[in-house]
Structure 1
Amino acid sequence: MPKPHRSEDAASLSRNWKPFRIPLTVPAVALVNGIIVEIMAEEGRTRQRRRRDADVPNFKRTIGAIVADLAHRLLEIEHDPSDIRLPGVRLTLRTSKLGRKARRYDPPFLGKTLPTILDTMARCGLVTVEKGEWSGSDEPGKLTIVRPTLRLAEMLTQADLQFPDWGLCVDQEIIMQRSANDDPQHKGALVDYADDANTTGLREEVRRINDHLRHADITVLKDDPALARINPALRFVQRVFNQSSFDHGGRLGGAQFWTMLHRHERSAVRIDGHPVATVDYSSMGTRLLYAEAGVLPPDGDHYDLDGFGPAYRDAVKRFASGSLFVKGRPLHEVTPRRPSGLRFGLHLETLPYGTTMGALTTAWERRHAGLRWATWGQPSRQDEEVQQTGWLYRGLGHRLFRRESDILVRVLLTLNAQGITALPLHDAVLVARPHAEVARSVMQSTYLEATGQPIPVSVD
């Protein structure tokens, strides 16, 4: 079973609305246009003033975005077609949000008329609207849930519209910046920014990657019924920077169907008709830290620690990733304990019985003693605590993510220039198996050029 959408709410069968969804094919556009005509006729019975000509395109795009995402939602999740409570999408109808000055991330067509449009669609028997509630404070309230009616679901079924009929418009922002957030369980808020030569260059790189993906031959075998609800047309990449800085983060996110698949499900992906291989950098996070320190990394798997063998690799990897973001002291000393034995996303029961975080920290520091004792210049008074732990706990995680993502973008562009399609997975790529060795060579040479150090690259 593919991974659920990160905003999925099983109780309400809803997820966040994707307002940039659009009809792609002639049948989908025809259905949406028919609905627009019906809504305008319904409006004509009650509307006092004629809509301004300049507002008509935004009106139509809003209806198209609602219908397209509800149609996609019905295809995403298994449901009883006769159930009156069909899967829906969550959105806000607060006029303070809809009427705010547009940011680069906001759909330019969306405005204060959204509640009125939804009310009209409800009168036409196309949607149901479960109104949200304000929390009464700055805390998040309950979002409005919009669901297709049985009538709209039947219209979509009769038109035989499937995933390829719906897409994402390409004029949305692809360079995202988020604010600082001390809670690793939540994203920072989107931050607006002024464009300069740097952001323009970053955007052009991602645009080129998206252009290649949009025209690539990528399919998913549907032999497994669970994969029938995967849309291989979802191949839209964005770069997401963190801490309100373009020096931090930059990993590739967006709507990417392959990130919704578990490892064993990737065998169903086909690129140019071929099965795919996963070409993966080995221990890239810690190796980038060694490169920053100017110290040669040890051989072997960096997550293979004394007392924590291969069976615990995933848990050690999660611990190591968290350690890149803390400063001055080990991770378990600065991260509060979470419920049910959970610390920094790591369940204690995934480790050997009786293991303490202190024991894991000791094993980690022994494995990477070269980083602990590496020096990094004359410290300021505030950094004396950090200096005592060398490079192990310098809080460089977001900065390393920027280096990692820069390297991966360069890998993607190099492979695309050779006519090779590659799907990004943080510090790995999926490529057609006949191109796996070329991808490995490109990844190794790109890393060496960026850091001055070699790195193992595996092919699975």
Structure 2
Amino acid sequence: MMVAALLKEASIRTDGYLFRSMGRDSFKNQGFTDCPVGYRPFKTVVDGLKGKGYLEVVTGFKESVNVHDRGIATRFRATPKLIALAEQYGIRLPDWASHFTMLPRPKAVRAPIQLRADSRKDKKGKKHKGGRVDFDPAHPAAYRYAKQVHDINTFFADQDIQPAECHFAFTRIFAQGDHRDYRWNKGARLYSYAFGKSYQQMPRVARPERGDHIGRENITINGEPVVEVDISASYLTILHKLMRVPLPADPYDIPGVPRKVAKIWVTITLGHTGFHSRWPDAAKRRYSSNHPNGAADLQRDFPFGKTQRKILDHLPLLKDWPTNPVTWADLQFLESSAVVDAVHELATRYGVPALPLHDAVIVPRSKAELAKQVLSTCFQGHVGVLPTLTTK
């Protein structure tokens, strides 16, 4: 399994590093599945491969003993000797996957749902993901949501998804579980865990020059090509409905601001607790992703303050976003509820596999119209308005 992962990583990018903490505590309560690998067997494999010259190991470190401080996990990379050995047995990097059998997808996982605390910032302003919060699995809401994810995992265990390593199992993560009087109504996206890069982390279209040799459009489900059914302006639609304000016919048709830039601004704003003071690095990377040699400069082309003012003039409801009683966690919960319900209904009622994205589902091409009907009905049921759907 480790050799397969090393060869896969080497086939994707030249640095080819895998990351894994070697701290003993990190091997306890492994993930959300019931197939843990303990510290001792893992360390034995690492030492054996390294001793034979097949594995390069770069030891990780932590900046301090503070449990909340970040560090760098230990990195692992296949050496040329391992790659040469594989080739002696007919295993070439481009077709590594045809020589290894993936573990079958589980019908059940240990933690179909997770509850996490709110994220926090340290003294340096770095944001840290909230830790897990204990909860009673017999709580009616927790039991209901866990049962729904269990149904979805059970269904997907028998579906042929290619590339196989892009999905293993789902877990649903609820947010802000450390708030008083928590009601299981914050966040709650359905996340895919995978042995390789999850399909949710793939770009829609392959970008070999950036190391992404496979895009979501290359996925097949039960041997059939796929399409994405997408909810247009999902967060904006939900927010305007909740605040009882009409949504502009085309919320992204803003004079002087390209649609791509407007979407980036809306995404970073409604996913945040207030307004940003500048373009975040992730937004800059997204803007330049389709420009060769990184020629595009978001701040240079569209200065943040000026661009924000134009967007707020077009979408005046957002002017009060920092003080709005509705937060990103509320928007995400309603959106994810619609998507997860659609995935569940398509699976259990129609026998149709639908891979969830944040605001979309990936389905076999022949099932696109059915997926649109189901997703539209589920969105209306949670939000109270029919969404605008597009197919890609």
**Structure 1 CA distance, aligned partners of 2:356 and 2:157?**
14
Matches within 5 A, 1:112-151: 113=40, 117-118=44-45, 121=48, 125=52, 128=55, 129-138=57-66, 139-147=69-77, 150=81
Name 1:315's counterpart in structure 2: 261
**Structure 2 CA distance, aligned partners of 1:365 and 1:305?**
10
Residue 362 of structure 1 aligns with an amino acid whose one-letter code is R
Q: How far did residue 111 of structure 1 move?
A: 5.1
Contiguous gaps of at least 5 residues in structure 2: 179-183, 206-214, 288-295
Name 1:430's counterpart in structure 2: 362
User: Cα deviations across residues 244-286 of structure 1 (Å, max 9, x unaligned)?
Assistant: 3643211122225433433234443333433222111110011
SS class of match (1:345): helix
Are the equivalent residues in 2 in contact too, given 1:206–1:239 (CA < 8 A)? Answer: yes
Larger CA Rg, structure 1 vs 2 = 1
- Once superposed, what is the RMSD of the aligned Cα atoms? 3.8
User: Cα deviations across residues 86-130 of structure 1 (Å, max 9, x unaligned)?
Assistant: 9553333334555x7x48759785556457635763587486454
Identity %: 20
Residue 365 of structure 1 aligns with an amino acid whose one-letter code is L
User: Cα deviations across residues 309-338 of structure 1 (Å, max 9, x unaligned)?
Assistant: xxx3222112112222555x6x13xx4x4x
The answer to whether 1:165 aligns with 2:93 is no
Q: How far did residue 192 of structure 1 move?
A: 3.6
Name 1:188's counterpart in structure 2: 129
The answer to whether 1:439 aligns with 2:371 is yes
Name 2:19's counterpart in structure 1: 90
Closer/same/farther in 2, CA of residues 208 and 127 from structure 1, 3 Å limit: farther
Are the equivalent residues in 1 in contact too, given 2:117–2:177 (CA < 8 A)? Answer: yes
**Structure 2 CA distance, aligned partners of 1:106 and 1:439?**
29
The answer to whether 1:406 aligns with 2:337 is yes
Q: How far did residue 136 of structure 1 move?
A: 4.0
Are the equivalent residues in 1 in contact too, given 2:192–2:200 (CA < 8 A)? Answer: no
Q: How far did residue 398 of structure 1 move?
A: 1.4
Pairing partner for 1:243 from 176, 180, 191: 176
Are the equivalent residues in 2 in contact too, given 1:411–1:446 (CA < 8 A)? Answer: yes
Q: How far did residue 426 of structure 1 move?
A: 0.9
Are the equivalent residues in 1 in contact too, given 2:334–2:383 (CA < 8 A)? Answer: no
Name 1:175's counterpart in structure 2: 113
Are the equivalent residues in 1 in contact too, given 2:229–2:390 (CA < 8 A)? Answer: yes
Q: How far did residue 142 of structure 1 move?
A: 4.2
**Structure 1 CA distance, aligned partners of 2:86 and 2:185?**
48
SS class of match (1:438): helix
Q: How far did residue 409 of structure 1 move?
A: 0.5
**Structure 2 CA distance, aligned partners of 1:73 and 1:353?**
40
Name 1:343's counterpart in structure 2: 280
Closer/same/farther in 2, CA of residues 267 and 155 from structure 1, 3 Å limit: closer
**Structure 2 CA distance, aligned partners of 1:255 and 1:285?**
25
Are the equivalent residues in 2 in contact too, given 1:305–1:363 (CA < 8 A)? Answer: yes
**Structure 1 CA distance, aligned partners of 2:360 and 2:237?**
14
Q: How far did residue 392 of structure 1 move?
A: 7.8
Pairing partner for 1:262 from 203, 228, 240: 203
Are the equivalent residues in 2 in contact too, given 1:105–1:173 (CA < 8 A)? Answer: yes
User: Cα deviations across residues 204-244 of structure 1 (Å, max 9, x unaligned)?
Assistant: 2112222222212333xxxxxxxxxx545624222222233
The answer to whether 1:197 aligns with 2:140 is yes
Name 2:388's counterpart in structure 1: 456
Q: How far did residue 344 of structure 1 move?
A: 6.5
SS class of match (1:77): helix
Closer/same/farther in 2, CA of residues 389 and 124 from structure 1, 3 Å limit: closer
Matches within 5 A, 1:278-317: 278-300=228-250, 302-308=251-257, 312-317=258-263
Residue 363 of structure 1 aligns with an amino acid whose one-letter code is K
Residue correspondences, number: 348
Name 1:356's counterpart in structure 2: 303
